[in-house]
Amino acid sequence: MLTIEVDFGSARPVYRQIAEQVRGLIARGDLSDGAELPSVRQLAANVGVNLNTVAKAYRILADEGLVDLRHGSRARVLGGARARAPEVEGLERELGDVISRLVLQGRGREEVSAFFETALERFFER
Amino acid sequence: MLSRIILASTIVTVVLVVWLVARADGERVFYMDLGRRLDERDRARVRRVQGVTLASALVGVAAAAFAPLPAAVLVATLLPFAPIAWLLVEVVGAVKSAKPAEASLRFRVPLTEPPPAKQYVSLPLQIAHGALIALSAAAFVFVRGQLPVLVPLHFDAAGRPNRWGSPDELWALGGIMLFCWALCWFLVVGVARERWALPTAHTEAYARASRRRRELLVRMIEVLMLCVNAAVAVSWLGIAIGSLPGWSHLLGITVAVALVLSAGGAVGSLVAFLAPLAAVQRQLSALGGVALGTRRDGWRWGGMIYYAPDDPALFIPKRLGIGQTFNFARPAAWLILVLLVVVPIGLAFTSMLLSRR
């Protein structure tokens, strides 16, 4: 069963959590081209949030070219190949922030590198 | 004699239902998971309910057997409230002392649509239910032309007719059957549309147990409602046929059979489904909690009421006991509650108005 995880205790907004995880599933190939996402109403009911929260997550994915939103029908995955090229600068900034946090925790260059290695292995193993 | 048996069986049915619920088993009392080990106070609660229940049964059966009929009727009407009221008091007391585990703020939700309501229902039971209503209506249409101008429409607790009216008023019983069937489907849809929140570990096992819980709840509702409608069908046709010349002896038997069917449905569904439901609830509790995904601050009055304005869910699994509750922050919850009260009262009121014409 394909699932996503939500954490109401996290500082990350729920719509970002949803968007990030659906993006991850598409990237790993778990959600393939043409796959239907649950309706906004159904996902909002299961997560326990307002309809707008899920709609916002789906809009982010649609803006990235990962999901096709058509009025009156369910959101459909367009597939990674059609995804718009991400802004490299923006991604570097986000990665830089992660590295800063790890360094501030007292980790050295090798430990940070090992951290990324493990994260990469987990991502492609799933 | 028949009327006294009917009175006694009314009391015994209520007593049996309360007796079945009055249990302390492992970490559950009155089939509620209090989130702590049971202690002597919990067992004392069960003993008190059993004591009141047993006393009610003895007094009720004795009154039904030996008291003058008016007094026996009064006892049969009022006495069943004693064990029910006592049970409610003890349940509230137990709930106040509950320490349920807080629902995790982290959980998983499926990206596939959950199984629809029709996947939980039993096709043979639904066909039987539909056929029961259709055949009852057809049989009534068949005898309608032969019925006298006035037929008995209401019976006292001893099973004797105390109000007469037009045979067309008996269509109200067909309306009640349709209402019960609609109610059955409404409850089934409520169970099917419950939130699909799953724990981060043992996700598949939890999903299987959650599905099993829903199947058991739906089956219990289907069996109970079918028995209730079978009782209504027996009343409907029994009254109609019992009004025909030479068939009046059917009236008393009709009341008795209807009572046995409704009592059998209530007691039978509890006997058949309470234990497996309790087992699957225990499994869900061990795997991540029954009310996963609900707001912690939404549970009020010790967890008996759920009121969470920021939670869009309408149907919520009970945190302590078996079954469901509403999210009372949703206006639909109040609307449904009002409808469930207004429709039966409306049917009774319409029947009364028709009889006065």
What pLDDT, in 10s, does the model give residues B133-152? 999 999 999 999 898 888 88
> What's the whole-number mean pLDDT along residues B228-241?
92
* Interface touch B106/A9, C-beta < 8 Å: yes
Categorize the per-residue pLDDT at B187 as very low, low, confident or very high, splitting at 50, 70 and 90: very high
The pLDDT, as a whole number, for residue B332 is: 92
| Statement: residue B323 has pLDDT above 70 | yes
Distance from C-alpha of B173 to C-alpha of B346, rounded to nearest angstrom: 13
Categorize the per-residue pLDDT at B288 as very low, low, confident or very high, splitting at 50, 70 and 90: confident
* Interface touch A3/B198, C-beta < 8 Å: yes
> Which residue does chain A place closest to B103, by CA atoms?
A8
| Statement: residue A89 has pLDDT above 70 | yes
Do B128 and B139 form a contact (C-beta atoms < 8 A)?
A: no
Q: Which residues of B318-354 are buried (b: 16+ CB within 10 A; e: fewer)?
A: bbbbbebbbbbbbeebeebeeeeeeeeeeeeeebeee
Q: How far is CA B8 from the centre of its chain?
A: 21
Residue A52 at interface with chain B, using a CB cutoff of 8 Å: no
* C-alpha triplet B341, B342, B347: angle, nearest 5°: 110
Do B5 and B256 form a contact (C-beta atoms < 8 A)?
A: yes
- Give the distance from residue A58's alpha carbon to the nearest chain B alpha carbon, in angstroms: 13
> What's the whole-number mean pLDDT along residues A83-103?
81
For the ranges A57-71, B33-47, B69-83, the lowest mean pLDDT is seen at B69-83
Distance from C-alpha of B160 to C-alpha of B151, rounded to nearest angstrom: 13
The pLDDT, as a whole number, for residue B273 is: 92
CA B304 → CA A42, B31, B93, B192, B322, distances in Å?
Answer: 26, 14, 11, 21, 12
| Statement: residue B178 has pLDDT above 90 | yes
> What's the whole-number mean pLDDT along residues B167-173?
89
Q: How far is CA A29 from the centre of its chain?
A: 13
> Which residue does chain B place closest to A74, by CA atoms?
B113
What pLDDT, in 10s, does the model give residues A5-14? 999 889 999 9
Distance from C-alpha of B329 to C-alpha of B159, rounded to nearest angstrom: 43
B201 neighbourhood in chain A, CB within 8 Å: none
CA A13 → CA A4, A19, B26, B71, B165, distances in Å?
Answer: 14, 10, 41, 66, 65
Neighbours of B317 (CB within 10 A): 27
Mean pLDDT over all residues of chain B?
86
Categorize the per-residue pLDDT at B23 as very low, low, confident or very high, splitting at 50, 70 and 90: confident
Phi, psi (5° rounding) for residue B47? -65, -40
* Interface touch A51/B312, C-beta < 8 Å: yes
Of these ranges, B14-23, B208-217, B254-263, B313-322, the one predicted with the greatest mean pLDDT is B208-217
Tell the residue number behind the tokens 């068949």, with chain if given. Answer: B142
Categorize the per-residue pLDDT at B128 as very low, low, confident or very high, splitting at 50, 70 and 90: very high
Q: How far is CA B321 from the centre of its chain?
A: 15
| Statement: residue B18 has pLDDT above 60 | yes
pTM assigned to the model: 0.82
Number of CB pairs, chain A paired with chain B, less than 8 A apart? 72
Indicate left, alpha or beta for B110 from its phi (over 0: left) and psi (-120 to 50: alpha). beta
Q: Which residues of B184-210 are buried (b: 16+ CB within 10 A; e: fewer)?
A: bbebbbbbbbbbbbbbeeebebbbebb
> What's the whole-number mean pLDDT along residues B1-28?
80
List of residues 6+ apart from A4 with CB closer than 8 A: A17, A18, A21, A22, A25, B108, B109, B111
Per-residue H/E/C for B246-273 = CCCCHHHHHHHHHHHHHHHHHHHHHHHH
> What's the whole-number mean pLDDT along residues B151-180?
82
Do B267 and B16 form a contact (C-beta atoms < 8 A)?
A: yes
ipTM over 0.85: no
Question: Which residue in the set A1, A5, A8 is minimally distant from B204, CB to CB?
Answer: A1
What pLDDT, in 10s, does the model give residues A28-86? 888 888 888 998 988 998 898 989 999 999 999 999 888 988 877 888 888 655 566 66
B196 neighbourhood in chain A, CB within 8 Å: 46
